[in-house]
Amino acid sequence: METGCPLCSRAREGVFICENLAAVAFYDGYPVSRGHSLVVPRRHVADLFCLPAEEQQALWALLPMVKEALDRVHRPAGYNLGVNVGEAAGQTIAHVHVHVIPRYHGDVPDPRGGVRWVIPDRANYWSAR
């Protein structure tokens, strides 16, 4: 745990959607949709690719449990999953975290392309044919 890291602080609070020995899941403090959640390792590591395989597996193992909880409470129509690795990719907190973003019919005018919209000029490939 790192002093001053907001995700380490949240991991210490003990208010989780679910958890295992190496990772925890909780609601995002700045959600982009109802139920937006984060899955984070308990250990403070900035880069997903620097986590050993067993800690990466611990993160992914929580995803079905988070989905089940969000389905029960929020009933979304779909999900986006995202990981920002490095400043150039938009990572603003130097602690690995997987975004679980519930999606709802009508939450945006046209959801096609999903995560491709991180680079807007390249997202709409279906019209470029």
Catalytic residues: 97
Instruction: Output phi, psi for 47, to 5 deg.
Output: -115, 120
Strand partners for 103? 78
Nearest to 64 by CA among 26, 18, 104: 18
Contact 41, 22 (CB under 8 A): yes
Contact 74, 35 (CB under 8 A): yes
